[in-house]
């Protein structure tokens, strides 16, 4: 019998994680990217509201119909602001293409139509656990040492293969970032999870899988 657990990142958490990443990168590179201070201050305001509303609504102790409505409103306001802000970043030529891609935004580059080959090396993966969350990070080895945050040039994403102890079927999830968070139910705590990963090209053709690792949930 297949165990029902979630391997997809929650949409709200995924959106908020990307928004926080974009905001952090803009603060870090504000001077060299020429980011307008007033725009960034507005981003801070709407993002702080969304972070606070999400935290209150994500806590079982404080969650109510009111916190749910407040979270929905705060996310709507942030999305309303973030769309034009992303357009502003993409037309700002001081923001490198590599930085846009790292933030999960559209690249200005139009790559050659020659399809990328299937990856020929496996990634190195590591895991960070927090309560009922488990974040998988992918990197490539460099000089026999894992280099965190470095993916093979122009490969599209990495695929994670997941199996709960006692199950015979794997679930897979693809992340275009170099990390992905898996969420589990509290009833899964203490169970062992097996996972491995592979780089994939834009056609989602997977390269070799890395050696399988196991983690205890919780």
Tell me the pTM.
0.49
Q: Interior CA angle at 12 toward 196 and 35, to 5°?
A: 100
- The reported pLDDT for the residue numbered 165 is 87
Q: Say if residue 1 is exposed, middle or buried (CB neighbours under 10 Å; 0-12, 13-18, 19+).
A: exposed
Q: How far apart are CA 146 and CA 166, in angstroms?
A: 31
Angle 76-23-61 from CA coordinates, rounded to 5°: 55
Q: How many CB atoms lie within 10 A of CB 207?
A: 20
Token representation of residue 115: 């399809």
d(CA 173, CA 37): 38
Name the residue among 140, 149, 43, 48 with its Cα closest to residue 89: 43
- pLDDT tens string, the chain, 218 residues long: the values are 334 334 344 578 878 888 888 998 899 999 999 999 999 999 999 999 999 999 999 888 899 999 999 999 999 999 889 888 988 898 888 998 888 887 878 777 654 456 677 888 898 898 888 777 888 888 876 544 444 444 555 566 788 999 988 888 888 888 877 888 888 888 888 889 999 999 887 777 888 999 999 998 87
What is the structure's pLDDT at 112?
46
Look at residue 134 in the predicted model and tell me its pLDDT: 86
């Amino acid at each position: 019998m297949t165990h029902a657990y979630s391997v997809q990142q929650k949409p709200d958490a995924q959106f908020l994680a990307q928004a926080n990443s974009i905001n952090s990168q803009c603060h870090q590179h504000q001077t060299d990217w020429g980011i307008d201070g007033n725009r960034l201050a507005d981003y801070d305001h709407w993002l702080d509201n969304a972070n606070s509303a999400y935290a209150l609504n994500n806590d079982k102790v404080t969650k109510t119909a009111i916190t749910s409505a407040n979270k929905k409103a705060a996310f709507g306001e942030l999305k309303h602001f973030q769309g034009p802000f992303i357009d502003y970043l993409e037309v700002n030529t001081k923001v490198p293409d590599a930085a846009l891609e790292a933030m999960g935004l559209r690249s200005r580059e139009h790559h050659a139509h020659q399809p990328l080959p299937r990856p020929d090396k496996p990634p190195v993966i590591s895991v960070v656990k927090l309560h009922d969350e488990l974040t998988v990070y992918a990197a490539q080895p460099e000089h026999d040492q894992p280099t965190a945050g470095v993916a093979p040039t122009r490969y599209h994403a990495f695929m994670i293969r997941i199996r709960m102890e006692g199950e015979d079927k794997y679930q897979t999830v693809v992340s275009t970032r170099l990390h992905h968070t898996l969420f589990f139910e509290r009833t899964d705590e203490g169970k062992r999870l097996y996972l491995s990963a592979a780089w994939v090209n834009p056609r989602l053709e997977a390269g070799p899988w890395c050696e399988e690792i196991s983690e205890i949930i919780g």
